[in-house]
Amino acid sequence: QLVESGGDLVQPGGSLRLSCAASGFTFSNFWMSWVRQAPGKGLEWVANIKQDGGEKNYVDSVKGRFTISRDNAENSLYLQMNSLRAEDTAVYYCARGGRYFDPWGQGALVTVSS
């Protein structure tokens, strides 16, 4: 099971940190990913992170602004989002896997608006 938290309304240029609590599997054995979905739109992969945190990948549109991290002792995944823009408004899903994604969390809504 994956449960996201931290979604909120934030002003453009602001910051937000999403968390994802994992349970029911050995978290430290899996790559993890963030995928987002803007309102009424399709799916967009955002970032992934290797089991030990030693490798991270990002979509170009968030490079330098977002940071993915994990705490295997706490079975938790994070997404630090800085310099947020209106186009970052979306439901952010935490998902197990670095290649394909299963399962997915319920999502956290991030709204960037003044």
Partner 1 sequence: DIQMTQSPSSLSASVGDRVTITCRASQAISSYLAWYQQKPGKIPKLLIYAASTLQSGVPSRFSGSGSGTDFTLTISSLQPEDVATYYCQNYNSVPRTFGQGTKVEIK
Q: Which residues bind partner 1 (CB under 8 A)?
A: 33, 35, 42-45, 48, 57-60, 93, 99-107
49 or 84: whose CB is closer to partner 1? 49
Closest to 32 (Cα-Cα) out of 4, 63, 6:
4
Residue 1 CB neighbours (<10 A): 10
Q: What share of the chain is helix, strand, coil (3-state, %, to 5)?
A: 10, 45, 45
Task: Please answer whether residues 4 and 54 qualify as being in contact, where contact means their C-beta atoms are separated by less than 8 angstroms.
Answer: no
CB 107, min distance to partner 1, A? 6
C-beta closer to partner 1: residue 1 or 11? 1
Nearer residue to partner 1 within complex by CB, 52 or 60: 60
